């Protein structure tokens, strides 16, 4: 099982970090050890002083495939969940400046909490609304229609590089509003009005 993440998939978020809007999806991977065990807190990693939340819709793949055309991509998933792509922003900035890979900043243990429950695509609206609260305060909200590359286009692009297997997860990118977290924070993630994920920072 692998976790494929998409960077800069919302124009406003790309701009808030001073990046250009990409012509092809920015892709990176997290290992399975990045999944935060259910109901565990995330312990603030010692190697960063600027840990950021990024709330993202997550696709779970349910069929083996490669070189999938966009028009057939909907056959490869039927559930969407929500997750957090935790990012050590200071470490990522150092990696970017040196032209180095991002794994130290994004692929560490616990950096990918994922909701236990996924929602059936057939029960979701075409334009999926999602949001995150930190200590009860709304900090990020987005809608899937704002993605530069939609779910099916992402599957087309990703499956040209990586064979998709059953259980693989795709983090589809974060909307604007990424911000630092601190010890004691409680993050809660919603699709529509339904709270699907809670993570405490310890
Ligand atoms: Zn992200």
pLDDT at residue 16, rounded to an integer: 87
Q: Return the CATH number at 184.
A: 3.90.850.10
**pLDDT at site 20:** 85
Tell me the pairing of strands 129-134 and 186-191: antiparallel
7 Cα distance to chain centroid: 8
- The three-state secondary structure class of 82 is strand
Give the integer Cα–Cα distance in Å for 137 and 3.
29
Q: Which residues contact 37 (CB under 8 A, 6 or more apart)?
A: none
Q: List the structure tokens of 141.
A: 């909200």
Q: pLDDT means per 10 residues in the chain (202 residues)?
A: 96 86 93 95 98 98 98 98 98 96 97 98 97 98 96 98 98 96 98 98 98
Whole domain around residue 30: which residue ranges? 3-200
141: CA distance to ligand 1 center in Å?
A: 14
Residues in the chain: 202
CA of 85 to the centre of ligand 1 (A): 5
Give phi and psi for 195, each to the nearest 5. -80, 125
How far apart are the C-alpha atoms of 16 and 145, rounded to whole Å? 19
Count structural domains, the chain. 1
pLDDT on residue 22: 86
Task: Tell me how far the alpha carbon of residue 184 lies from the centroid of ligand 1, in angstroms.
Answer: 22
Ligand 1 centroid, distance to 56 Cα (angstroms): 7
Question: How many angstroms does the Cα of residue 178 sit away from the middle of ligand 1?
Answer: 9
Q: What is the pLDDT of residue 18?
A: 87
Q: How remote is the CA of residue 171 from the centroid of ligand 1, in Å?
A: 7
Cα 175 to averaged position of ligand 1 atoms, centre (Å) = 9
C-alpha 106 – ligand 1 centre gap (Å): 9
Copy the structure tokens of residue 183. Answer: 């010890």
The pTM (predicted TM-score) of the whole model is 0.96
Q: Summarize pLDDT for 116-152 with one digit per residue, the tens.
A: 999 999 999 999 999 999 999 999 999 999 999 999 9
**Spacing, Cα 49 to ligand 1 middle (Å):** 18
Residue with tokens 């809670």: 198
Q: What's the pLDDT score for residue 37? A: 93
How far does the centroid of ligand 1 lie from the alpha carbon of residue 7, in Å?
Answer: 5
d(CA 3, CA 173): 12
Which candidate, 163, 168, 144, 172, places its Cα nearest to that of 68?
163
Q: Please give the torsion angle defined by the CA atoms of residues 63, 39, 9 and 153, in that order, rounded to the nearest 10 degrees.
A: 10
Contact 158, 164 (CB under 8 A): yes
Whole-number Å distance, alpha carbon 6 to ligand 1 midpoint, is 6
How far, in Å, is the centroid of ligand 1 from the Cα of 5? Answer: 6
Can you name the residues that pair with 7 across neighbouring β-strands?
A: 26
């Amino acid at each position: 099982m692998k976790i494929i993440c998409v960077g800069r998939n919302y124009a406003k978020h790309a701009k808030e970090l001073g990046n250009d809007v990409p012509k092809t999806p920015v892709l990176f991977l997290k290992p399975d050890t990045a999944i935060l065990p259910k109901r565990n807190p995330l312990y603030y990693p010692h190697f960063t002083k600027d840990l950021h939340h990024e709330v993202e819709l997550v696709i779970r793949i349910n069929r083996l495939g490669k070189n999938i055309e966009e028009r057939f991509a909907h056959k490869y998933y039927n559930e969407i969940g929500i997750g957090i792509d935790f990012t050590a922003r200071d470490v990522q900035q150092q990696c970017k400046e040196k032209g180095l890979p991002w794994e130290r900043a994004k692929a560490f243990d616990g950096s990918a909490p994922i909701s236990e429950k996924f929602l059936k695509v057939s029960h979701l609206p075409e334009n999926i609304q999602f949001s995150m609260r930190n200590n009860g305060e709304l900090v990020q909200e987005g809608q899937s229609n704002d993605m530069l590359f939609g779910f099916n286009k992402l599957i087309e692009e990703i499956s040209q590089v990586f064979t998709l297997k059953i259980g693989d997860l795709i983090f589809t990118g974060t909307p604007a509003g990424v911000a630092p977290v601190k010890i004691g924070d409680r993050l809660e993630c919603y699709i529509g009005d339904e709270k699907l994920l809670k993570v405490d920072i310890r």
